[in-house]
Every structure is written in C-alpha cells, then in structure tokens.
Amino acid sequence: MPLEIGLWRVTDRARQLSPSRMPYESRLEQLILDDPAILETELLILGHQVLTSYGKFIDIVGIDVEGSVHIIELKRDRTPREVVAQALDYASWVQHLSNDDVREIFQKHNPDGDFDVAFADRFGGTPTPDDLNEAHFITIVAGDLDDSTERIVQYLSGSYSVPINVMLFRYFADEGNSYLARTWLIEGAHQDLQSAGGKRASTKAPWNGRDYYVAFGLENNTRSWLDARTYGFVSAGGGEWYSRSLRKLPIGARVFVCIPGSGYVGVGTVSGTASAARQATFNVNGVEKRFVDLDLHADYGLHSLEAEPDGPDLNEYVVPVSWDKTIDVSEAFWRKGLFANQNSACKLRHELTISEVAKAFQLDSA
C-alpha cells in the first residue's frame, strides 16, 4: 500500500493535519538545487536538466563525497511506468560516464566554476576522490505514491539490487504556516549497481605518468624535514605498511611532498632506488657517505635494535631526491581541496593539487 506521512499539531490536544496538494510541486526541483540536503544526502550538484547522449534530459545529477553519482528524477504527473522506465534509462547512460565525463558535466553547467574547488567547498575541504562514478544511485522524488510505483521500486530494489528509491514529500498547511515532510520508501536501500556487461569507461582520474604524492611524517622525531632538504631524500618506515609504497617510487618520478597537518613543502625528482637507512649511502659534496654517518637531526630508527631476520621489516627506508624547490615547515603550502592521503606514497592524479603547488612553488610547468 502507498506510504502515508502523518503530522499532528499539539496544543491542549493533538490534531492531525491533512496533507494537501503541494503548491511547491512545480518548485521542488529548485528547492533541491538550493539545498540538496533536503534529500538527506550531501550532494554537489553537477547540473540540472542534464542532456544525455540520446537527447533526453535528467532533472538533476549530483555527486556525493565518495564520488558516487546520483540521478534525481521528479515524478511530476507521469505514470509509474513512465517515471521508473525513464529513470532506469538514465541510469544506463550514467553508468558509462568516465571520470572526465563527470567533470565535463559540471563544467558545462558551471562554466565559471572549478570542479575540485567546488567539491572541497561542498564537503568541508575533502579533496576529490581519484575514482568518480564507481557507483550510482537513482532517486525518484514524488509528492504522492501509488501502489504500482511502490511495487515496481520494491521489486527492482529487493529482487535485483537496483539502487533505486523514492523520496516521498507531503505538504501540510496550518494557520498560515507551511510544512514539508519527507520519508524514503525503502530505508537504506542504496547499493552499488552491478554492471550488466559491457566495458565501462575509466572512473579513475587520468594520471600523467610521472607525479607522485609523498607523505613525510614528523611524528616522534623519527625523521626531520631539515635533514631531507639538506641531503635530498624522502623516507618512511616503522613497518611494511608504511614503507612498501615508498619503496615502489621509480627513478625519474616527480614527487610532491606533504607533511600531514602542515602542507606541501617540496617538489623534486627521484634520483635513486629506496634502501634501508642502515645501509643507504649518499653523495655529499662529491664524497660517498653512509646515511648513518650524516649529521642528522632525527633518529630514523638507526638506534633501535635491528629486526629479526624472519620478523617484520621495521626499517626506515630512504629514497634519494633531487629537489626542484623546498620550503620550511613553517611556510608549508595548503589550501582547501588539496590532495592528502594516508599512504606514504601514491600516484598523484589530482589536477588541482599539481597546478596549485606548482604555481605556489613557481615551477616552470605543472
């Protein structure tokens, strides 16, 4: 049976209000555009009346903090068959949108905006995820719900895990005041939509083949950024999880070095392979020196007992870097929306970060 929402005004007794035809029905799209949180999901609106490749228009397309795309379709006065079929048709188009396609939709509908900046503004400084449109969701917005629509949506969601749901709004008026009430047809129904076949375009942001992000942690005097600047290296260690990604940095890679909690402090090119700090050597003013013999300000685990041969690898690893530009920690560059990651090193695909750091460090090219 159709969902029903009740609302009571309570004074000396409870009096139930009767829903009436929503004068906001024609304005519902604008209400959502003004505040997507009305749908209980924080969204960055990519565009409204988004043109598909086959000439139809999706009412609203948005994206959430995880990078999942949301199709918002208003029921208006269409029949259940029409609105559900149209929403599924739109989903068949959305599922093939690549990372670049998602960005292009935003740019077309926000010609003066920057997708990465808008994403960070919308989600409290969170940088854009590398993967966009790994999953998508369908929400039908309705002012009323009939038996047929409910059956169809329940069937698709429950039997075939199609991530489709209905947000039902009811309008109430009472003594000059207006109220909107809302509820989902299916609580917690959204799930990842499984591909029904066919090759999908890449949902991951393109990578230029050379840029990497490196996190240079300063916790517990384990390492010193002054040492890294002076002798030309980045380092990580204390366990396989911390050192594994750093050890994979290839010679010739350009690294953007960020101190967690401070910001970006250096850009340079990897000039040698990773090695354990205890065994590493560096060329200092033409003289080959062991890392352990350098005038260092931090410990790098050099004074800890060496791990057992069959035990976990707790070594600090160092990777030689030829610096293009470094700055002091006190001058670290940061702005909302720049890329940050818990891994010691990873591919840097984030265009905003690359361009903004390159600009701040006055590098010749991004």
155 and 23 housed in the same domain: yes
Nearest to 224 by CA among 296, 284, 275, 278: 296
Burial (CB count within 10 angstroms: exposed 0-12, middle 13-18, buried 19+), residue 157: buried
Q: What is the mean pLDDT of residues 334-353?
A: 92
DSSP, collapsed to helix, strand or coil, labels residue 174 as strand
What CATH number is associated with residue 281? 3.10.590
Residue 113 phi/psi, 5° resolution? -100, 170
Q: Say how many C-beta atoms besides its own lie within 10 A of residue 243's C-beta.
A: 23
Range with the poorest average pLDDT among 56-65, 68-77, 265-274, 305-314 = 305-314
**What end-to-end distance do the CA atoms of the chain give, in Å?**
59
Quick check: is 84 in a domain? yes
**Do 127 and 82 share a structural domain?**
yes
Looking at the structure, tell me whether residues 70 and 137 fall in a common domain.
Answer: yes
Instruction: Decide if 50 is inside a domain.
Output: yes
The pLDDT, as a whole number, for residue 115 is 94
Residue-level pLDDT at 1: 46
The mean pLDDT value of the chain amounts to 87
In a domain, 191, yes or no: no
**Domain's final residue, options 184, 199, 229:** 184
Q: Are 42 and 141 part of one and the same domain?
A: yes
Virtual CA dihedral for 323, 328, 329, 335, nearest 10 degrees?
-80
In-domain check, residue 352: yes
Q: Please enumerate in sequence order all residues whose Cβ is within 8 A of that of 79, keeping only pairs 6 or more positions apart, or say none.
A: 148
Mark whether 69 and 135 lie in a shared domain. Answer: yes
Same domain, 339 and 226: yes
Where is the domain boundary, 165, 184, 203?
A: 184
> Is the same domain home to 168 and 263?
no
**Is 202 part of any domain?**
no
pLDDT of residue 125: 83
Whether residue 162 lies inside any domain: the answer is yes
Same domain, 48 and 161: yes
Residues 63, 160, single domain; the answer is: yes
* Most confident stretch, 14-18, 177-181, 341-345: 341-345
Alpha-carbon Rg for the chain in angstroms: 27
Mean pLDDT of 83-106: 95
Residues 145 and 225 in one domain: no
CB–CB of 44/62 below 8 Å?
A: yes
Reference 194, options 164, 161, 218; nearest CA is 161
pLDDT given at position 9: 77
The pLDDT value given to residue 203:
79
Range of the domain at 320: 211-360
Identify the pLDDT of residue 235: 96
Same domain, 231 and 179: no
Q: What is the pLDDT of residues 150-200, one digit of tens each?
A: 889 999 998 888 999 998 887 787 877 878 788 888 876 554 434 333 445
53-76 pLDDT, tens digit per residue, is 999 999 999 999 999 999 999 987
Which of 106-110, 178-182, 241-245, 256-260 has the least mean pLDDT?
Answer: 178-182
Same domain for 177 and 245 = no
The count of structural domains within the chain is 2
Percent helix, strand, coil in the chain, to 5, is 25, 30, 45
Residue 193 lies in a domain: no
Tell me, yes or no, whether 65 lies in a domain.
yes
The model carries a pTM of: 0.72
What pLDDT sits at residue 22? 65
Q: Are 203 and 133 in contact (CB under 8 A)?
A: yes
Whole-number pLDDT of residue 265: 98
Collect all residues with Cβ–Cβ distance below 8 Å to 194 and sequence separation of at least 6: 161
- Count other Cβ atoms within 10 Å, centred on residue 326: 19
pLDDT of residue 194: 40
Q: Higher-confidence residue: 142 or 331?
A: 331
Supply the CATH number for residue 24's domain.
3.40.1350.10
- Nearest Cα to Cα of residue 313 among 214, 217, 243: 243
Mean pLDDT of 215-229: 93
